Amino acid sequence: LTPHQRQSVDFTLPKWVITQTLVTICEENGLTMKHITELEMMHVIENPNQGTWYSFQLLDPEDDAHSVELMLFKEQFKTHLRELMRNVSIKIKKHTDEAVWIRIAWGSGFSRPNHLKPTYVVHYLQSPYVFVRNLTSKLKPLLMQSLTLSTRHQAIKDANLSGPKLMAIRDLLMKQYQQSFPTNDASPLAKENQP
């Protein structure tokens, strides 16, 4: 897409309007669904605070779990998930902050992948945490099994933290937040000791 075409898309509009705009632009340029999903993935990566993110923690790592590289992870994740479900579209992209972003469009035994309702997964390879958005309870076991196998862990559990702010959830779980609480008053002990 040209810079003018990218800037002409108003991402504050409802998703169906954005989708129609992108389809029109892509048809004008002869682009395919692959290009549209790439654009959507770029948008979600740049604007992660939409929808509700759920956090999970990988448990019982194998000896080589911390040395899993991106290429091996990508290959194994796609293989494991495709063994469990045939009609699935998987796109994996590494972001600048070491996050691995995964976009999954689920199908079924009888239908093609639904690209309008993808699941997003964010995983930092050297950490035990996984963040997921837009996952149905029916598909959850398939994703969890694929994640545990491809990251070389034995189990995965709910980390009991969810919300719309992905980076805030990540910072809390990975303890990367700055713990400074501004106050207007002197410390309570200093007040008590004053005459």
Q: Which residue has the tokens 């002409």?
A: 8
124-175 tens-digit pLDDT: 988 899 999 999 999 999 999 999 999 999 999 999 999 999 999 999 998 8
Please answer whether residues 162 and 57 qualify as being in contact, where contact means their C-beta atoms are separated by less than 8 angstroms: no
Residue type present at position 175 = K
Q: Which residue has the tokens 């040209």?
A: 2
Pairwise CA distance, residues 194 & 173, whole Å: 40
This prediction has a pTM of: 0.78
**If you write DSSP's letter for every residue of 70-128 in order, what string do you get?**
HHHHHHHHHHHHHHH-SSEEEEEEE-TTSEEEEEEEE--SSS---TTS-EEEEEETTSS
State the Cα angle at 150 between 145 and 156, rounded to 5°.
45
Query: 28: helix, coil or strand?
Result: helix
Half-sphere exposure of 175 (CA within 13 A, CB side): 2
- In the 8-state DSSP scheme, what is residue 66? G
- In the 8-state DSSP scheme, what is residue 31? -
pLDDT score at 84: 93
State the Cα angle at 177 between 172 and 180, rounded to 5°.
125
22-44 tens-digit pLDDT: 778 877 888 777 877 888 898 89
Query: 186: helix, coil or strand?
Result: coil
Secondary element (H or E) of residue 188: helix 188-192
pLDDT score at 159: 94
Please answer whether residues 115 and 36 qualify as being in contact, where contact means their C-beta atoms are separated by less than 8 angstroms: yes
Query: 133: helix, coil or strand?
Result: strand
Q: Which domains does the chain have, with CATH numbers?
A: 3-46 (no CATH), 53-173 (3.60.90)
49-60 tens-digit pLDDT: 989 999 999 999
Query: 60: helix, coil or strand?
Result: strand
